[in-house]
Chains A and B, each alone.
Chain A
Amino acid sequence: MNDFRTLKLLDRFRGAFEGMGVQYDQMRRILQVKLTMDGRRVPTIVGNSSRRQKGTLLGGRESSTLKGQNGTGDDSNRFIRSLWVYALLGIVMIPFVIMGNNYMFQMSFVFGIMLFMVMTSLISDFSSVLLDIRDKNILYSKPLNHRTISMAKTIHILIYMLFITAAIMLPSLLVGLIRNGIVFFLIFLVEIVLMDFLIVALTAFLYFLVLRFFDGEKLKDVINYVQIGLTIGITIGYQLVFRLFDFVDFSFRFQPKWWQFLLPPVWFAGPFEYVLSGDRSGYVAAFSLLTLLLPIAGILLYIKMMPAFERNLQKLSEQTGRESKGLTRLWRLIGKWMCRTREEAVFFGFASAMMAKEREFKLKVYPTLGFSIIFPFIFLFTNLQDGRGLSDLATGKMYLFIYFCGLLVPSVVIMLGFSGQHKGAWIFRAIPIQDMNAVYKGTLKAFLVRLLVPLFLIEAIIFTAIFGLRIIPDLIAVLLCLFLYTFISYLLLGPELPFSEPFQAVQTNRSLKMIPLMLILAAFGFVHYAATVMSYGVYLYMGILLIANIIAWHRGFTDVSGKRGFAQR
């Protein structure tokens, strides 16, 4: 175990801690252990960015069977090594710092981005620290006073925050120092620390509320969705922020409004305006005061509420299983209606439940769903910039960009073979399944019903709003095409027992198989385009697709069964 430099720094304050009644040696030891354990986890931010390259191994080492064997060899804190990703993300703020002297506007943006990034990574990566229920049994049963344990926990979180914010804010801080001078730099620095306090307090308060009114499972869901949001937010945020400069005119004057009091990032811009621009208006002064007082009040409240927080944590270990009965029955009905055989309906139900509940699956797949909603719009906007207006767009055939959301189909079809709970897959081998095709068919149908159709509906509604009702026949054709496309993806990617492999085993050579699939999707798009040129072409296209679908979903599976699949596994 390393002796961390951070801890050596902390040693200088030994006297102060002991003065507060903290058992310093023990607290230091707890921190050392906690930091070591953090070093062996992989932050969400890295896990996802490395997925596309060869990195799944990196994510795998932690949560898979590989982990124990490599002992304690590579301790050189993986967390520290991941910091450059945060620094890279922080670059996005530089333009806001340098572009002008409209501090109110620029710094609101900067602190808004900081709030989003730091808070989401705190929630997604450090929830396990805040919410570790093992602490209770392991630490409280030892001869330690409560102050030592609370202090260790608080400092642990603050150390983590310090590193993340330092990494994220460093680029813009340096640029700010060069561009705007030392006073700006100092205000910026102090405010970053205050923002950290605010974030810790806000996060704890959020957990407190969720735990107060819901159970632990709900909180785990909240954390899961924040992780998903972080992944989507960062990817899309990048697309948008840089495009933003083309759309928004930054020279306009800032106008104070009452609702800005609800947005902490706006307060944080206040002091810059107050000190640097000499704006002494009531709003700016009020913002500045809030910036100074609220974070400090927040962190004090947090320390005070710690015991109550710990008590609520107990809920995390409690098992409660309430489920909305009505909805389950609805899905079962849909399953019966969708599936020919009972076996198929069983796997339809199983796959739907896994898609909706398995958190690791959601973490891996839902961001893809998010992207595929956004993708068509990114292309639409790119075309907008080429000088055409929205009304011009509405009469054209740009709605065919909706095909881009079909990109999710192959990647989700691949992901259907994986799960965080792959060990449960022994059941496929232990039970006598008469027709393996029922397994694949039921699973794919569940994907269509629970993921693809809802997503497509959202997309279709927005598109209809832009392009008008005239595109509805086209949209129906696209949906039929996506059904067929799902079948084709399944054929080309090969059947895989659903939810039977760990995510670490996702292989990159599979992405190679994606390329022909993308071409196929493009081909569908072109055929559709050609069909729109003919009169009634769309209906013809629709008819062909319908017949193809019927053949594929009724006959397609029986043909496959002999050739490949279960026997060879």
Chain B
Amino acid sequence: MDNNKPVITIRDLRMRYGERFVLNGIDLDVYQGQIIGYIGPNGAGKSTTVKIMLGLVEGYTGEVRILGTDIAGDSMDYKRKIGYVPEIAEIYDTLSAQEYLTFIGQLYGMREDDADRRSRYLMEILGLKDVFGSRVSSFSKGMKQKVLLISSLLHNPDILFLDEPLSGLDANSVMVVKEILALLAEQGKTIFYSSHIMDVVEKISSRIILINGGRIVADGSFVELKEQNHEGTLEDIFNQLTGFNEHRSLAEQFVSVVNEVRI
């Protein structure tokens, strides 16, 4: 269901930390309703891209437009249409889930009672009704992840940025969240999803973008990537495109070192 007008356009995006270039010219158009699986090895520039789009990182060159707005300007209104799930550590965990969620809702400009009511419902649906008033610091990894997911969706955003959104969730919750993402995309929301778990990316993404060394090295649906690369799984494609074929020999080395010790 690609529309003609992209919701995100990135042109020649480059970013440098000190001497090191993290992004070397990214060009990308993202259309409404897509679920983008944004993958790449550690240090490839995945999270930098996402952080630039959220306005967390400055000092890039090139152009980034989200919903038609150039984000380099002082405008921050585009952020009202964005939801963001950061890594687990990024949460004020001395607050209760209720306090945290209403706070976030209000930062997006919602009314307090409205934010409270909606977050209560959403918590209840995800099975966290009883801990709504408890401090987030007492939550398990999976529970925190659910809180973060709710906080990113409270204000009904058009674009969703997710950083490893399934980590810590049990198998049943994973199914629920995957279903939620699919439904949201069906309704025209755009989801930008970065993860290291290839199986999940392979299943839920409508389009996969692989970056390596600050460049896009593959872009297309899983089927398209498979045809281009003649490989079986996304994992294999990932290994091939990032030029990584030593896994067997590294594993052999590792095990042989482990075996050296005899007590």
Interface residues of A (CB under 8 A from B): 1, 25-26, 29-30, 33, 36-37, 40-41, 65, 67-69, 71-72, 134, 136-145
B60 near A: Cβ within 8 Å? no
A25 partner residues in chain B, CB cutoff 8 A? 106
In the complex, what residue of chain B is closest to A142 when comparing beta carbons? B107
Task: Report whether B91 and A134 are in contact in the complex, using a CB–CB cutoff of 8 Å.
Answer: yes
State the total of A-B contacts with C-beta under 8 angstroms: 85
Task: Report whether A144 and B107 are in contact in the complex, using a CB–CB cutoff of 8 Å.
Answer: yes
Task: Report whether A142 and B104 are in contact in the complex, using a CB–CB cutoff of 8 Å.
Answer: yes
Interface residues of B (CB under 8 A from A): 54-56, 74, 76-80, 82, 84, 86-87, 89-92, 94-96, 99, 103-104, 106-109, 133-139
Task: Report whether B95 and A141 are in contact in the complex, using a CB–CB cutoff of 8 Å.
Answer: no
Q: Give bound CA distance, A72 to B96, whole Å.
A: 7
In the complex, what residue of chain B is closest to A66 when comparing beta carbons? B138
In the complex, what residue of chain B is closest to A136 when comparing beta carbons? B56
Q: Give bound CA distance, A144 to B90, whole Å.
A: 18
B108 partner residues in chain A, CB cutoff 8 A? 142-143
In the complex, what residue of chain B is closest to A32 when comparing beta carbons? B103
Task: Report whether B107 and A29 are in contact in the complex, using a CB–CB cutoff of 8 Å.
Answer: yes
Known contacts A26-B107, A142-B104, A142-B108: A137-B96 contact under CB 8 Å:
no
Which of A65, A71, A142, A145 lies in contact with B133, CB distance below 8 A?
Answer: A71
Q: List 15 A-B contacts (CB under 8 A).
A: A36-B95, A36-B99, A68-B137, A69-B134, A136-B56, A137-B56, A137-B86, A137-B90, A138-B90, A139-B107, A142-B108, A143-B78, A143-B80, A145-B74, A145-B76
Q: Give bound CA distance, A1 to B91, whole Å.
A: 17
In the complex, what residue of chain A is closest to B53 when comparing beta carbons? A141
With both chains docked as a complex, state the minimum distance between the C-beta of A20 and any C-beta of chain B, in angstroms.
Answer: 14
With both chains docked as a complex, state the minimum distance between the C-beta of B198 and any C-beta of chain A, in angstroms.
Answer: 25
Q: Of B82, B87, B90, which is in contact with the most chain A CB atoms at under 10 Å from its CB?
A: B90
Task: Report whether A68 and B109 are in contact in the complex, using a CB–CB cutoff of 8 Å.
Answer: no
A136 partner residues in chain B, CB cutoff 8 A? 56
A144 partner residues in chain B, CB cutoff 8 A? 76, 79, 107
Q: Give bound CA distance, A26 to B103, whole Å.
A: 9
Task: Report whether A72 and B135 are in contact in the complex, using a CB–CB cutoff of 8 Å.
Answer: yes
Known contacts A69-B138, A145-B74: A134-B92 contact under CB 8 Å:
yes
Task: Report whether A41 and B86 are in contact in the complex, using a CB–CB cutoff of 8 Å.
Answer: no
Known contacts A67-B135, A68-B139: A37-B92 contact under CB 8 Å:
yes
Which of A37, A41, A145 lies in contact with B95, CB distance below 8 A?
Answer: A37
Which of B74, B82, B92, B99 lies in contact with A72, CB distance below 8 A?
Answer: B99
Q: Told that A71-B134, A72-B133 touch, could you supply 5 new A-B pairs with CB distance under 8 A?
A: A37-B94, A141-B79, A143-B77, A143-B78, A144-B107
Task: Report whether B138 and A140 are in contact in the complex, using a CB–CB cutoff of 8 Å.
Answer: no
A26 partner residues in chain B, CB cutoff 8 A? 106-107, 109
Task: Report whether B135 and A138 are in contact in the complex, using a CB–CB cutoff of 8 Å.
Answer: no
B107 partner residues in chain A, CB cutoff 8 A? 26, 29-30, 139, 142-144
With both chains docked as a complex, state the minimum distance between the C-beta of B101 and any C-beta of chain A, in angstroms.
Answer: 12
B56 partner residues in chain A, CB cutoff 8 A? 136-137, 140-141
